[in-house]
Amino acid sequence: MRRSVSIAGLAAALVLGALGFGTGQKSHVASAQEKMSMMEVKIDNFTFGPATLTVPLGTTVTWINKDDIPHTVVSTDDSKTLKSKVLDTDEKFSFTFSKAGTYPYFCSIHPKMIGKVIVQ
Amino acid sequence: MHPFDIRAALLAKHAQHVVLIHFPIALFIIAVLFDFLAQWKRQRLPAAAAYYNLLVAAIATIPVVVTGILAWQWELEGQKLKGILLTHLVMGCASTVLIWVVWFIHRRSRRNQEEILPGYRLPIEAVAVVIVALTGHLGGFLSGVNGPG
């Protein structure tokens, strides 16, 4: 009787351990995927950093304004795929790229500020 | 962009405001200096110079306001402004009104052939110079004169 109880206990521990390990692995994979699909472009000192960003399809790119000056993120071409509102300090703009291609953009307040997202 | 690319320079949607703004600022500040000089030295010539500089400064505010509003409507698609942009807009409007008010005080005195201009114009002119300077400072800050390249 005592033996069967201890076997059952061991089995339960193994099952719980396996479940825990599996969940941990899953969360690790999920966070890696999240990292892959989220990219950030910092706007600072009148520059987009990085100016050219290459990302896989489906990636969400977030621009964050770390400058004291307002900036925008607007597509250079007529498509106006990217069109943010005026971003004050610490404000963000996100866009998910669902089509491969090159997306050039600029700040419409400071047209010398340019950047590019390459979606592969 | 080539420095003599006229088409690009003229068609840049917001570039004209940044260029034109220098005219009313310079004309107004020099007009006030002439007016203070005329008051101090009791001379007609600097007073006349002040009047005509004020006149051209006031006229020069029209294209500046128009291009500023167009820049807002075209480049920012008329978004609701806040922060420095809103402050710049409000102060720009206040500057324009003050420049026209100062010119109007001078014009009225000239039309009435008054020998002495009203003394209250001087503090108005001083306040207007400060507001114009602050508006210009904000504009410079916004246009990125302190930024790289």
pLDDT tens-digit series, residues B71-114: 888 888 888 998 999 999 999 999 999 999 999 999 999 898 87
| Mean pLDDT of the region A1-20 | 49
How far, in Å, CA of A60 to CA of A116, rounded? 14
Torsion of CA B101, B128, B143, A78, to 10 degrees: -20
Using a pLDDT cut of 90, give the percent of chain A over it.
Answer: 57
Residue A51 forms contact with B (CB below 8 Å): no
**So what's the pLDDT on residue B14?**
58
Interval A60-108: pLDDT, tens: 999 999 998 999 999 998 778 999 999 999 999 999 999 999 999 999 8
What is the band of A113 on the pLDDT scale with cuts at 50, 70, 90? very high
pTM over 0.90: no
The distance of A19 to chain B (nearest Cα, Å) reads: 52
| Mean pLDDT of the region B12-23 | 81
Q: What share of chain A is helix, strand, coil (3-state, %, to 5)?
A: 30, 35, 35
β A38-44/A114-119 pair status? unpaired
Q: What is the ipTM of this complex?
A: 0.71
Q: Which domains does chain A have, with CATH numbers?
A: 37-119 (2.60.40.420)
Q: Is the omega angle on the peptide bond into residue A50 within 30 degrees of 0, that is, cis? A: yes
| Mean pLDDT of the region A5-21 | 48
The distance of A72 to chain B (nearest Cα, Å) reads: 8
Rg (CA), chain B: 17
Q: B82 to chain A: which residues are within 8 Å by CB?
A: 86, 88
**So what's the pLDDT on residue A28?**
47
Integer angstrom CA distances of residue B46 from A48, B26, B28: 50, 16, 14
Q: A111 to chain B: which residues are within 8 Å by CB?
A: 12, 14
| pLDDT exceeds 90 at position A32 | no
State which residue of chain B sits closest to A73, comparing Cα positions.
Answer: B76
* A95 φ/ψ angles, rounded to the nearest 5 degrees: -145, 135
Mean pLDDT of chain B, nearest integer = 89
Size of interface A-B (CB pairs under 8 A): 38
Contact between B86 and B136 under an 8 Å Cβ cutoff? The reply is no
3-state secondary structure of A61: strand
Q: Record the tokens describing residue B121, joined without a space.
A: 């114009």
Residue A91 forms contact with B (CB below 8 Å): no
